[in-house]
Amino acid sequence: MSGHRVPYAPATGCSPAGQGSVARREAPALSTLSVRLLAGCLVLLLLVLSWLVPLVSADGGPTQDEVNAVARKLFCPVCENTPLDVCPTEACQQWREVIRSQLAEGRSEAEILDYFAHLYGDSVLAEPPPRQWAAWLLPVLIVVAGTSALAYWLRRWARPVAVSVEETRAESIPESDPYLERLERELAEWDR
């Protein structure tokens, strides 16, 4: 069930540091982090090995649609901006395998997303989690600021003012200007 095997050395398991995930959030104690990373590496390594054995889960495990339902909410950090459920690279197939096995273990979607976000940073999530509150706050600020600015200007402009220069000039043209009459006539002709 596989295409061509790409000789690929992605940061799927063992070099998450390259993805800048070490320094994320409130910097958990380094030891727990590295234990977690090590565990992640081991799980991935096992999965990569198991992947080399052809596997078709005909035994009633999670369906591919169930795997994709989770995968489409993830992006691997290697392939630029391709959702995980459709990315054709080998690295992404391995990620999907991780999702499959976690689903088989009975983990929920939220837990799996959290697992990947923990290992690789929040950038892998299709939608930023609440802890990235700035991402959600900024657009609200933009809309509020824009609307207030517009409301301010509307109020200023709606205030009546003295006759403007343009109108004064227009009034200084005598009513019975033959040229103006002709112009109006021609304009009227034109508009028909």
Partner 1 sequence: MLADVGAIALLLAFAAAVYAVGAAVVGARGGPRDALWTASARNALIAVWPLLTVSCGAMLWLLLAGDFQIEYVASVPSRAMPAYLKAAALWGGQAGSLLFWAWVAGTFSALVMLRKWDADRPLLPYVIAISAVTELFFIGLVIFVETPFSKLGFVPADGSGLNPLLRHPGMIIHPPTLYLGYVGFTVPYAFGMAALISGRLSDEWIRASRRWALIAWLFLSLGLVLGGRWAYDVLGWGGYWAWDPVENAALLPWLTGTAFLHSIIIQEKRGMLKAWNMVLITLTYGLVILGTFLTRSGIISSVHAFARSAIGPLFFGLIAVMSVFSIRWLLLRRDSLRAEHRLDAILSRETAFLLNNLLFLTITASVLVGTLFPLITELVAGEKITLRVGWYNQVVGPQLAALVLLMGMCPLLSWRRASARRLGRAFWLPFLLSVLLVALLALRGLRSAGALAGLGMSAFVGLTTLLEFWYGARARRRSKGENYLVALNQVIVRNRRRYGGLMVHLAVVLMAIGIAGSYFLQQETQATVRRGETLSLGGFTLLYEGLSERRESDELVISEATVSVYRDQQLVTVLRPRRDFYPLSGQPVTIPAVRSTVSEDFYVILVGWEQMGEDQATFKVYLNPLINWLWAGSVLFVVGTLVAAWPDRRARPALVSAYRPSAVIARRTSSA
What is the contact surface with partner 1 in residues (CB under 8 A)? 1-4, 6-8, 20-21, 23-24, 54, 56, 63-65, 68, 73, 75, 80-83, 85-86, 88-89, 93, 121-123, 125-128, 132, 134-135, 138-139, 142-143, 146-147, 149-150, 153-154, 157-161, 164-166, 169-170, 173, 177, 179-180, 182-183, 186-187, 190, 192
State the CB neighbour count (10 A cutoff) for residue 13. 21
CA neighbor of 25 nearest in space, from 128, 108, 139: 128
Provide the minimum distance between the beta carbon of 79 and partner 1 in the complex, in angstroms, as a whole number.
Answer: 9
- Shortest Å distance, C-beta 125 to partner 1: 7
Beta carbon nearer to partner 1, 42 or 78: 78
Q: Which ranges of 80-132 would DSSP assign to H, the alpha helix?
A: 90-104, 109-120
Q: Largest Cα–Cα distance of the chain, in whole Å?
A: 97
Residue 34: CB minimum distance to partner 1, A = 18
Q: CA 114, CA 109: separation in Å to the nearest integer?
A: 8
- Distance in Å, CB of 84 to partner 1, minimum: 10
Q: Where do we find the tokens 């992404």? A: 92
| Nearer to partner 1 among residue 20 and residue 42 (C-beta) | 20
Q: From 74, 14, 15, select the one nearest 45 (Cα to Cα).
A: 14
